[in-house]
Amino acid sequence: MSKATSMRRGAWFAALIAAGVCACAPAAKRPRVDATADTPELPPHAVEVAYGMWSCERGYLLRHRRCVPEEEVSRDPWVEIFDPSPPPVRDEEAPPRRPPGVPTAMPGFAWSESDFPPRPVVAYPFSLEEPRLSTVIGEPTRYTLPDGKTLYEVARHHGLGINQVAEAFPDFDLVDPPAGETLELPTWWILPESDHRGLVINVPELRIYYFPSPGSVITYPVGLGRDDWQSPIGRFKVVEKTVDPAWLIPESIRAEHIRERGDARSMIAGGDPENPLGRYRLRLNLPLYGIHGTNIPWGIGMEVTHGCVRLYPEDIERLFAMVAVETPGQFLYQPVKVGARGGAIYVEVHPDIYDTRFNHLQEAMRLLAAKGWSKRVDWRLLDQAVEEKRGTPMRVSEDASALREARR
């Protein structure tokens, strides 16, 4: 990753934290920006966020480049994209169970949730048995970027978190990518090392895996805990399922809200647009932690929560229906995964998001040795995968017959 790209992404993440995008926390009440200030292009009740983009403060929605009180537009289903060329588009029909015209927060944009209909549930097959070992699931997706579409939209439509897109294409601007460019989206993954039961959350890749039956897995991107509120590592069990859960704000988080923005609320009702739990919650037996939806979908694929696990609204709706109370699960911390498919060996490398001084190369070598694959690896390819940390499976074997040769 280039220094400029790293700085750009760092500034973007800092903007998210400043905006109060954290699980189990309402959106921050941002300071008013007057049109007469040093940035006259910003309208009243707007705040600059990042990349020259701006968003409306709490209680206001973007309409025709103005921040309008929510009560004035509560019955207006207009949808706007912050772009001077296209006119506003009327959202005429939302999918079932999705209120028309409900905005999804994104600085400088006001998409409607009906722009993101549910994707089909895909159960990927896998095998842990020789000789048909197959622990790489999915396939890359070829996609040509249309004009005016951000990588946040692309990621969400393809079941990816923004982290995986940013890692795979580190030189691309996430908000203004080059139109006409054809990408191979990283819609494939190596399974984490686990017991392959219930729910498995691999923290460094910000992704959850659900194993509904032996040899089958469903996977979704997630948002997880920021550095000062890290998601836990360990086993858990689902103890409760709730629709439209109220958020009883823990005192530790409430104290932070009071200190940072003077917000002393102790509860946010279920269904409130500021409720960060969304419509569905799986409560865990780990105190204060849960798996739930979100009121800020563009935070999926980022470390922006107070430790909870957030999913896109359309994904938690599906997962909620499939997962039963008493389902077991575990949080893992595996920046490096190794797997195989079709006789080839793959490595998937992610950043050490919590700065644990993780040694990626050492762990890759340990995993390969434990599986008896070390002699079939092209070390040049492995070094490249570890150096780039693209967050997508990369072949590191000399050829597709590597496993057959390794077994002899």
Which CATH number fits the domain that encloses residue 131? 2.40.440.10
Percent of the chain with pLDDT over 90: 52
Which one is catalytic: 45, 257, 292, 360?
292
Query: What distance in Å separates the CA atoms of residue 74 and residue 95, rounded to the nearest whole number?
Result: 19
Q: What's the confidence (pLDDT) of residue 104?
A: 53
- For residue 377, give the nearest of 357, 353, 406, 336 by alpha carbon: 406
Domain for residue 345, yes or no? yes
Residue 148 CA to chain centroid, in angstroms? 21
- For residue 209, give the nearest of 360, 106, 348 by alpha carbon: 348
**Tens-digit pLDDT profile for residues 87-121:** 333 333 333 333 444 445 455 565 677 778 888 89
DSSP 197-215: -EEEEEGGGTEEEEEEETT
Q: What's the confidence (pLDDT) of residue 106?
A: 56
Q: What's the confidence (pLDDT) of residue 324?
A: 96
Q: What's the confidence (pLDDT) of residue 84?
A: 32
Lowest mean pLDDT among 38-52, 62-76, 175-189: 38-52
The mean pLDDT value of the chain amounts to 79
Same domain, 324 and 222: yes
Same domain, 363 and 226: no
Same domain, 96 and 188: no
- Specify the pairing of strand 216-221 against strand 124-125: antiparallel
Which one is catalytic: 45, 308, 350, 360?
308
Structural domains of the chain, count = 3
Same domain, 250 and 398: no
Q: What is the mean pLDDT of residues 250-279?
A: 79
**Tens-digit pLDDT profile for residues 196-241:** 999 999 999 999 999 999 999 999 999 998 888 789 999 999 999 9
Same domain, 95 and 135: no
Q: What's the confidence (pLDDT) of residue 199?
A: 98
Same domain, 345 and 322: no
- Specify the pairing of strand 198-202 against strand 328-332: parallel
Domain for residue 270, yes or no? yes
Q: Is the pLDDT of residue 336 over 80?
A: yes
Domain for residue 12, yes or no? no
Q: What's the confidence (pLDDT) of residue 7?
A: 38
Same domain, 303 and 354: no
Q: What is the mean pLDDT of residues 300-323?
A: 91
Domain for residue 5, yes or no? no
Same domain, 302 and 393: no
Q: What's the confidence (pLDDT) of residue 47?
A: 62
- For residue 139, give the nearest of 181, 186, 192 by alpha carbon: 186
Q: Which of 63, 88, 115 is the last residue of a domain?
A: 115
Domain for residue 148, yes or no? yes
Query: What distance in Å separates the CA atoms of residue 348 and residue 183, rounded to the nearest whole number?
Result: 18
Domain for residue 21, yes or no? no
Q: Which residue range forms the structural domain that includes residue 378?
A: 336-406
Q: What's the confidence (pLDDT) of residue 97?
A: 39
Same domain, 171 and 184: yes
Same domain, 109 and 202: no
The more confident residue out of 296 and 70 is 296
Note if 292 is an active site residue: yes
Same domain, 44 and 149: no
Q: Which of 87, 115, 143 is the last residue of a domain?
A: 115
Q: Is the pLDDT of residue 133 over 80?
A: yes
Beta strands in 164-307 (DSSP E): 182-185, 188-190, 198-202, 207-213, 216-221, 224-225, 234-243, 247-248, 267-268, 280-284, 290-292, 303-305
Same domain, 341 and 270: no
Q: Which of 310, 332, 354 is the last residue of a domain?
A: 332
Q: Is the pLDDT of residue 76 over 90?
A: no
Residue 106's H or E segment, with its range, is strand 103-106
Domain for residue 68, yes or no? yes
Backbone angles phi, psi at 280, to 5 degrees: -135, 140
Q: Answer left, alpha or beta for residue 312, where phi above 0 means left and psi between -120 and 50 means alpha.
A: beta
- For residue 202, give the nearest of 38, 80, 349, 306 by alpha carbon: 349
Domain for residue 23, yes or no? no
